[in-house]
Amino acid sequence: MLRTLGIETSCDESAVAVVDGDGRVEVSLLSSQIEAHAPYGGVVPELASREHLKALPYLVDQALESALGPVEMVAVTAGPGLIGALLVGVRFAAAFAWGRRLPLVAVDHLEGHLVSSLLNLDGEPARQEPDRVLALVASGGHSSWYLMDHGSRVRLGRTRDDAAGESFDKVAQVLGLGYPGGRVISELAAKGNPDRIKFKRTYLEKSGFDFSFSGIKTGVGRYIELNNDQIEHQAPDIASGFQESVVDVLSYKLLNAAAVKRCNHVALVGGVAANSRLREKVATAARQKHVTVHIPPVNLCGDNAAMIAAAGFHHLIQGRTSALDSDVYSRIKQ
């Protein structure tokens, strides 16, 4: 029963969790830096590192206190992400592991998101990974597809420009709704009509695996420029029309990719998977096609350390651990 301490500091959220050997999430804590970055309209890397340094000791203390037993290994995000922010997490984790003579496992952030679809926050063990799953990671920094086949992982495609979450953030910015934009846009969209203002759907090749979100963001920007005097009362319809366009593309492509790759399991992970319209649309489309959908609970869609702990545990049981001077990386690996 290897209980894992997970640490995640790849961007602007300090997260610490404890997950047991059956994948039960015992504690999952998050300290958001939104307020620190808000005056700058986006994430300031230097500030992110400092905030992680401040938050980690408290979060780790609290997590160890709430855990159901002693931790026996440490898993930490090594990349991709902000170098300074990652270094804070990795060095903290290495020092903790060294001080207690525990094994350390460096984990890829995207791999963490991929594992998250198997986790829950109900105190239940994690689900077994199906043999073949088509998984979409849609977050603020990444939008990529993976075919997970008997433990191997192949990236099938990615966005050619903005990530899906980034398009929510940018549309929120032009609507003056602040950063990050995903949740505010989806709340506003719920008050609007998705059919009143239609934005173009960019499918690229309809059956292909790449996607593009910069066109829709530009379309919304242009609409706002042309209708500047009516934006205030049109904002819910703009948010709703924009959201519907992104959701249509993501859900169509996910189910289409599953059919092309003959997968009857799909997973939807990353911050954008918290979007209720997307969850609903993917679930309905999957039901019609007899495909099983795996989506994490809303609180495990965005960055969290439970997914890092769970991914680290899989490495350790396969005999893979990391050196205490293990390095970090900024760019996506595969």
Among 108, 169, 237, 244, interactor with ligand KG4 by CB under 6 A: 169
Applying CB under 6 A, the site for ligand KG4 has a residue count of 20
For residues 104 and 326, the answer to whether their CB atoms sit within 8 Å is yes
Half-sphere exposure of 115 (CA within 13 A, CB side): 25
Task: Using the minimum distance from each CB to ligand KG4, give the nearer residue, 133 or 164.
Answer: 164
Please tell me the distance from the alpha carbon of residue 126 to that of residue 23, in angstroms, as a whole number: 5
> Starting from the edge strand earliest in sequence, which strands make up the sheet with 132-138, in order?
152-158, 143-149, 132-138, 265-269, 292-294
How far apart, in Å, are the Cα atoms of 218 and each of 87, 215, 279? 35, 5, 25
Among 33, 186, 251, 322, interactor with ligand KG4 by CB under 6 A: 186
Q: Which long-range contacts (CB under 8 A, 24 or more apart) does 26-30 make?
A: 26/66, 26/67, 26/68, 26/123, 27/62, 27/63, 27/66, 27/67, 28/121, 28/299, 28/300, 28/304, 28/305, 28/306, 29/59, 29/62, 29/63, 29/305, 30/303, 30/304, 30/305
Is residue 181 involved in binding ligand KG4 (CB under 6 A)? yes
Task: Using the minimum distance from each CB to ligand KG4, give the nearer residue, 3 or 52.
Answer: 52
Is residue 168 involved in binding ligand KG4 (CB under 6 A)? yes
Is residue 139 involved in binding Zn ion (CB under 5 A)? yes
Rounded CA Rg of the chain: 20
Q: 278-307 mask for Zn ion (x: CB under 5 A)?
A: -------------------------x----
Three-state SS letters, 39-75: HHCCCCHHHHHHHHHHHHHHHHHHHHHHCCCCCCEEE
Among 56, 106, 272, 306, interactor with ligand KG4 by CB under 6 A: 272
Task: Using the minimum distance from each CB to ligand KG4, give the nearer residue, 89 or 140.
Answer: 140
Among 141, 194, 241, 312, interactor with ligand KG4 by CB under 6 A: 141
Applying CB under 5 A, the site for Zn ion has a residue count of 2
Among 79, 182, 192, 241, interactor with ligand KG4 by CB under 6 A: 182
Task: Using the minimum distance from each CB to ligand KG4, give the nearer residue, 129 or 166.
Answer: 166
Q: Is 269 helix (H, G, I), strand (E, B) or coil?
A: strand
Task: Using the minimum distance from each CB to Zn ion, give the nearer residue, 108 or 237.
Answer: 108
Pick from Zn ion, ligand KG4, none: which does 168 bind, CB < 5 to 8 A by kind? ligand KG4
Among 112, 241, 270, 296, interactor with ligand KG4 by CB under 6 A: 270
Is residue 303 involved in binding ligand KG4 (CB under 6 A)? yes
Rounded to a whole number of angstroms, the minimum distance from the CB of residue 304 to ligand KG4 is 8
Please tell me the distance from the alpha carbon of residue 27 to that of residue 269, in angstroms, as a whole number: 20
Give the footprint of ligand KG4 on this chain (CB under 6 A). 11, 139-141, 165-166, 168-169, 180-183, 186, 270-272, 274-275, 302-303
